Amino acid sequence: MKTIILCGGAGTRLKEETEFKPKPMVAIGGKPIIWHIMKIYAYHGFNDFILALGYKADYIKDFFLNQKAFTSDFTLETKTHKTAYHLESRSEIDDFKITFVDTGLETLPGERISRCRKYITEKDKSFMVTYGDGVSDVDLTTLVKFHKKQATIGTVTGIHPRFKYGVVKEGKNQLVESFDEKPFLTDWVNGGYMVFNKEFFNFLRNAETEHPALSRLAEKSQLSLYKHTGFWQCVDTNKELDELNKIWNTGKAPWKKW
């Protein structure tokens, strides 16, 4: 099953990082977050990716095209440019199949998905879609089984978001009883990690985000919610990026299953 990763936006809220590179290339533990996302999928056996590119697409292409040089010792003869790679020096070799699709600089996510349609072949009964800025310990194998059991056109992974402020709990006589620092909300939001049958393309429109298409599915009772209560975190701010790096540096990152 192929996975479309949306990685074409400019990531303006992370401008210190994204002024020079696309948001999916911000680093966690020295590796781009998109690499972490792909490792999550590959761990569950889904290693065929379609990258919906836009802003600073060449940065992403360059990383993967030259990954062999970045991750192994090699000998270069500068006169002929003959290169011998010493692959035995590599500590880890990724097993990804990647299709790079230029979906435009200003294109909205819904249309980016549509522009990847030709790479979802007739033999592909379904495909997955996710965002290029969030990591999770979601069980993708169980997610796909759930999608098939539900027999709907689409499935989104629901997560409980954290409230970004501390909550004050009031006791009697207008006294503060306690503080709850950034509690989880009880509502569900779309955390990405989505699965769709090919009919989903019929619900997408040009110049739209993916949200109207999801609403159209919901109106026809064709969208299921897979509830995930484990770890999930996206990167929208430098603070969130710092938090993920701190988690990674503990050696116990919940999303690292590989």
- What CATH number has the domain bearing residue 68? 3.90.550.10
Residue 73 included in any domain: yes
By CB atoms closer than 10 A (0-12, 13-18, 19+), residue 148 is middle
Residue 245 included in any domain: yes
In three-state secondary structure terms, 141 is helix
Q: What distance in Å separates the CA atoms of residue 212 and residue 14, rounded to the nearest whole number? A: 26
Q: How far is CA 159 from CA 109, 188, 189, in A?
A: 20, 5, 6
Residue 180 included in any domain: no
Q: What is the pLDDT of residue 183?
A: 63
Residue 255 included in any domain: no
In the chain, which stretches have pLDDT less than 50? none
Q: What is the pLDDT of residue 14?
A: 78
Q: What distance in Å separates the CA atoms of residue 31 and residue 21, rounded to the nearest whole number? A: 13
Q: What is the pLDDT of residue 16?
A: 73
Extended strands (E) in 37-171: 48-53, 73-77, 82-86, 97-102, 126-131, 134-136, 154-159, 167-170
Contact 33, 135 (CB under 8 A): yes
Residue 88 included in any domain: yes
Q: What is the pLDDT of residue 92?
A: 72
Q: What is the pLDDT of residue 154?
A: 98
* Residue that has been written with the tokens 């996206």 in this structure: 234
Please say whether the dihedral angle defined by the alpha carbons of residues 219, 224, 229 and 232, taken in this order, is positive or negative.
negative
Residue 224 included in any domain: yes
- Global pTM? 0.88
- Residue 55, both tokens: 């802003």
- Domain region containing 196: 2-158+189-249
Contact 1, 48 (CB under 8 A): yes
Considering its fold, how many domains does the chain have in total?
1
Residue 177 included in any domain: no
Residue 45 included in any domain: yes
Q: What is the pLDDT of residue 163?
A: 67
